[in-house]
């Protein structure tokens, strides 16, 4: 399972790099993960994801460097957990721009079908954003640069 995911990541990598430049996030993308199982575009999960993104963006605008929140679905499987984190030395205005750019890029399809995945993680050189249909907030991963590896391992654990 783990090796499949890593393989999946490698075949998508050139494509992702290409579209990242187009999305204006330049070459700051360090690692990412998008789970292979997809939700449908008009699902409750997608509606909740857009709400989540608006919460993350507005809280970045309100000066937060880190914010995590949950948008609860009527059906538990539609609940979205999400967070962003700008590293300590990122200027406030840049942090706001990063969250806005990344959420817009994900929703507009700049990262392929990523916005339809139930488990998504992007780490750029100065900030990270993550969301999932399961709670991951207890995982202390605010500072490490090598999170993507532990995250790939963690994604194989059952809830
Ligand atoms: C993806 O969906 C298949 C079929 O429903 C399921 O067997 C598999 O466990 C799912 N994978 C993940 C990572 O949830
Ligand atoms: C931050 O997000 C919460 C939801 O988690 C939302 O209710 C609140 O309005 C947001 N705060 C700001 C300042 O936008
Ligand atoms: C934010 O994360 C903390 C753990 O770090 C968790 O206890 C809390 O429930 C989360 N908040 C929301 C709104 O999900
Ligand atoms: C909740 O979602 C699951 C998975 O999509 C579905 O199988 C189930 O029927 C849903 N339950 C309700 C009450 O809608
Ligand atoms: C999250 O989504 C995956 C893939 O569709 C699914 O296998 C899993 O059961 C979902 N988890 C929850 C808590 O709904
Ligand atoms: C996105 O998902 C659809 C439906 O599952 C699939 O047909 C399409 O090839 C996928 N596109 C990419 C870029 O992965």
Which atom of ligand 1 lies at the shortest distance from residue 1's CA?
Answer: 13
Give the Cα separation of 59 and 43 in Å (integer): 25
Ligand 3 centre from 81 Cα, in Å? 9
pLDDT of residue 139: 54
CB 84 within 8 A of CB 67: yes
Element (H, E) at 46: helix 44-61
pLDDT of residue 88: 87
pLDDT of residue 89: 87
What number of CA atoms fall less than 13 Å from residue 131's CA on the CB side?
30
Give the Cα separation of 18 and 23 in Å (integer): 9
Place of tokens 């963006």: 57
Domain assignments of the chain as residue spans, ordered by start? 30-132
Would you tell me the crossing angle of helices 2-23 and 147-154 to the nearest 10 degrees?
130
- The CATH code of domain 30-132 reads 3.30.430.20
Any ligand 5 atom below 6 A from CB of 92 = no
| The pair of three-digit structure tokens given for residue 76, joined into one six-digit string | 């538990």
| The pair of three-digit structure tokens given for residue 136, joined into one six-digit string | 């991951």
Any ligand 6 atom below 6 A from CB of 37 = no
pTM listed for this prediction: 0.78
Any idea which ligand is nearest the CA of 159? 5
Which atom of ligand 5 lies at the shortest distance from residue 133's CA?
Answer: 1
Ligand 6 centre from 25 Cα, in Å? 23
pLDDT tens string, the chain, 159 residues long: the values are: 444 454 444 445 444 444 443 444 556 889 999 999 999 999 999 999 999 999 999 999 999 999 999 999 999 999 999 999 999 889 999 999 999 999 999 999 999 999 999 999 999 999 999 999 999 986 555 544 433 333 333 333 333
pLDDT of residue 11: 47
Which atom of ligand 6 lies at the shortest distance from residue 38's CA?
Answer: 5
| Sign of CA pseudo-dihedral 45, 50, 54, 57 | positive
């Amino acid at each position: 399972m783990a090796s499949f995911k890593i393989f999946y990541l490698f075949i998508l990598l050139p494509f992702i790099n290409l579209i990242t430049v187009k999305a204006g996030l330049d070459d700051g993308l360090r690692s990412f993960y998008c789970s292979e199982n997809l939700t449908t575009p008009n699902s409750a999960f997608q509606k909740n994801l857009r709400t989540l993104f608006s919460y993350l963006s507005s809280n970045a605008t309100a000066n937060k460097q880190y914010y995590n929140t949950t948008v609860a679905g009527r059906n538990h499987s539609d609940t979205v957990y999400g967070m962003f984190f700008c590293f300590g030395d990122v200027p406030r205005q840049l942090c706001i721009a990063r969250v806005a750019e990344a959420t817009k890029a994900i929703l507009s399809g700049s990262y392929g079908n990523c916005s339809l995945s139930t488990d998504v993680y992007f780490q750029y050189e100065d900030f990270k954003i993550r969301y999932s249909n399961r709670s991951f907030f207890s995982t202390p991963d605010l500072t490490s640069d090598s999170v993507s590896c532990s995250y790939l391992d963690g994604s194989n654990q059952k809830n």
